[in-house]
Amino acid sequence: MDIVAEWADFISKKGYGMISDEQLSILACPACLGELVRTDNGNSLLCIPCSLSYQVKDGIPVMLPDQAVTIQDQGSGDKNC
Ligand SMILES: [Zn+2]
């Protein structure tokens, strides 16, 4: 079964449009199969190793590297000694 369809069904039953922790736990970056991190506003999912941001549209993550946005490492939270 198409996993995107499963998410859509899951979301419609839950009645919210944000990616839940449960959903996040089953999501993986299509490029590296690594874990994804949800952004504060829930509108995108980040893959840190790939520096890619996957957009979430209507609660459905767009897990296409072609559609992902490259994020710049701005060094936030990374303190030099
Ligand atoms: Zn990745």
Distance between CA 50 and CA 13 in Å, rounded?
32
Strand partners, 69: 53
pLDDT band at 7, cuts 50/70/90?
confident
Residue 46 CA to ligand 1 center (angstroms) comes to 8
DSSP per-residue letters across the chain: --HHHHHHHHHHHHT--SPPHHHHHH---TTT----EE-TTSSEEEETTTTEEEEEETTEE---TTT-EEPP---TT----
Distance of CA 25 from the midpoint of ligand 1 (Å): 15
Tokens (6 digits) for 28 = 């993986």
Q: Give 65 Cα–ligand 1 centroid separation in angstroms.
A: 9
- The structure's pTM equals 0.65
Structural domains for the chain = 3-70 (2.20.25.10)
- Dump pLDDT digits (tens) for 12-48: 665 555 788 888 889 999 999 999 998 877 789 999 9
